[in-house]
Chain A
Amino acid sequence: MSIKVLYFASLREDIGRASDLIEDTGQTGSLTIAQLWIKATGRNTIPDELLVALNQEYTDIQASVKDGDEVAFFPPVTGG
């Protein structure tokens, strides 16, 4: 399956890129967002204040992803 991963704001700068395309061919079961984070970023720790969106809706890192999903990782929002 293929998952689009996006990074925003300070996290994008910290990781050094705005997006990744994760191709996961070997996976038989489901892939959680926490597993996807490690796969995409190569980092084993998840930042405390990390926010996660699945197909532009807030979710948590235990949610599972499926082929074609878009997952975004970003720090707390500061608009308005």
Chain B
Amino acid sequence: MRLIKIVDTGFDPWKYQQDYQQQSMSGKTDFGATASFIGTMRDFNEGDDVSSMVLEHYPAMTEKQLNRIVDEACHKWAIQNTLIVHRVGEILPAEPIVLVAVWSAHRAAAFDACRFLMEALKHQAPFWKKENLRTGTTRWVEKNT
């Protein structure tokens, strides 16, 4: 099972994860581990204060690439369910950008698959960040940390 969602307004990752688990795993009793990662926007980058940013993406490819990395994770680890939520549009400091959650029978698969999905997303999914600095200038983020 999986859900991949791109959202253009603010979302509550904890509520999202809880609601998704309730909907998709109701009655299931064989999962023993849930690992999740939430990425939020920092108000600084490369020594500058950042007041907001805009996230752009390539919709058709985003979906394809995220499905591909979930396929890969399912192939590598015995995972039961995956949730990926990613923001686009204008984002403010402390707002969630991304949620990755993985459910499995045991913790090793959940931890490892969650980390893998997050790293693969950062390197393969076609998203781009443009920062609005506190000084009034804007700049594209050129490389992922």
Stretch in contact with the other chain, from B24-32, B73-81, B104-112, B117-125: B117-125
Q: How many residues of A contact B (CB 8 A)?
A: 16
Given contacts A6-B58, A53-B61, A72-B58, contact A77 B97 (CB under 8 A): no
Query: Within the complex, what minimum Cβ distance (angstroms) separates B124 from chain A?
Result: 7
Query: Within the complex, what minimum Cβ distance (angstroms) separates A17 from chain B?
Result: 15
A63 within 8 A of B: no
Query: Within the complex, what minimum Cβ distance (angstroms) separates B71 from chain A?
Result: 13
Query: Within the complex, what minimum Cβ distance (angstroms) separates A33 from chain B?
Result: 15
Q: How far is the CA of A14 from the CA of B56 in the complex (A)?
A: 15
- Chain B: which residue is nearest A8 at the CB level? B58
Q: How many residues of B contact A (CB 8 A)?
A: 28
Q: What would 28 A/B residue contacts be, using CB atoms closer than 8 Å?
A: A6-B58, A8-B56, A8-B128, A10-B128, A56-B58, A56-B60, A56-B64, A56-B65, A57-B64, A58-B124, A72-B58, A75-B128, A75-B140, A76-B142, A77-B122, A77-B124, A77-B125, A77-B127, A77-B128, A78-B127, A78-B129, A78-B141, A78-B143, A79-B86, A79-B126, A79-B129, A79-B144, A80-B118
B2 within 8 A of A: no
Q: Determine the main DSSP class of B at the interface with A.
A: mixed
- The answer on a CB contact under 8 Å between B128 and A78 is yes
CB neighbours of B129 from chain A (8 A): 78-79
A15 within 8 A of B: no
Q: How far is the CA of A22 from the CA of B124 in the complex (A)?
A: 26
Pick from A6, A72, A75, A79 the residue with the most CB of B within 10 Å: A79
